[in-house]
Amino acid sequence: MSRVIWKGAISFGLVNVPVQLYPATRLERTSFNLLDKDTADPIGYKQINKRTGQEVSRENVARGFEYEKGHYVLLSDEEIRAASPESTQTVDILAFVEAYSVSFLYLDTPYYLVPERQGKKAYVLLREALVKTGKIGIANVVLHNKQHLAALIPAGPLLALNTLRWAGEVLPCDDLAVPPDDAKQSGITAREIDMAVKLIEEMSGPWNPAEYHDTFRDDILALVDRKIHEGKTREISDTAKVPARTRATADVVDLSELLKRSLGRGKGKHVA
């Protein structure tokens, strides 16, 4: 079972919906450890001064922000912690927007939001209202001591929280060789468009992610399995597991009254 990675509340208007945050995805990347070819011992990395080639001890490693090429401002751990966002334990909804208006380019990491027992009614109400309006919530949330912009999205019976990239993280396409907006300027005929549309329709079907596979991963796992059965393995020590951390939850009160009082409060609200 997935572990809870955050506890808090969805906040919209004067309504708080207590929720738990769970991972919605898992990595299945094919990764490899670097080993000594002769002994199968793990190979580590040293922190090296790139100018002198000398190894630098951990206590002499500092964090630096490069404000221009080759020029840095050194920041202490205390200064960085002081600038870190405060953990408010809320998914603070700033606005609701049309679901189709948020480009896939901005989507980052998805999570599941699961309601606490006392917040199920408000949770379902918010989910159904989003489905009916075709909108998603845009929110601020602090996860792992880092501030995120996020989208609150209906996902079947659950609400998903998908962290979003900030505007400055999505690169503009101005300096790319962008094709013309008009098809005629590209020499495309109406007949060619009709044939392309027909081909798309013939290849169309329901989205079923189980139909698609990472064939490289499948081949690597098959190769590993074969080597195990052939006895071609080497043993190394396991790494220690990091314990999970949990946080406190929130409460929800008088849903109908809070909804009434919340109406009209969002008009003209400034979104930072």
Concatenating the DSSP letter of every residue in 55-98 gives: B--GGG--EEEEEETTEEEEE-HHHHHHHSPP---EEEEEEEEE
Residue 73 vs residues 47, 64, 67, 76: alpha-carbon distances, Å = 20, 5, 7, 10
Residue given tokens 């945050």 in the structure block: 21
Helices (H) and strands (E) in the chain, counts: 5, 9
pLDDT at residue 199 in the model: 87
> Does 1-27+82-170+254-262 carry CATH code 2.40.290.10?
yes
* Average pLDDT estimate for 172-182: 85
* Residue 249 pLDDT exceeds 50: no
* Average pLDDT estimate for 48-54: 85
Q: Which amino acid is at 15?
A: V
Band (pLDDT 50/70/90 cuts) for residue 181 is: confident
Give the predicted TM-score (pTM) of the model.
Answer: 0.67
Cα–chain center distance at 136: 16
Nearest residue to 257 (alpha-carbon basis) of 14, 41, 34: 14
pLDDT digits (tens, 9 = 90+) for 131-152: 999 999 999 998 887 889 999 9
Q: Quick check: 7 and 249 in contact, CB under 8 A?
A: yes
Rounded CA separation 42/175 (Å): 44
Rounded CA separation 37/59 (Å): 32
3-class secondary-structure state, position 153: strand
Q: What are phi and psi of 85, to 5 degrees?
A: -70, 150
Candidate from 31-40, 61-70, 154-163 with smallest mean pLDDT: 31-40
pLDDT at residue 264 in the model: 64
Residue 31: Cβ within 10 Å count: 6
Instruction: Locate the domains of the chain by residue range.
Output: 1-27+82-170+254-262
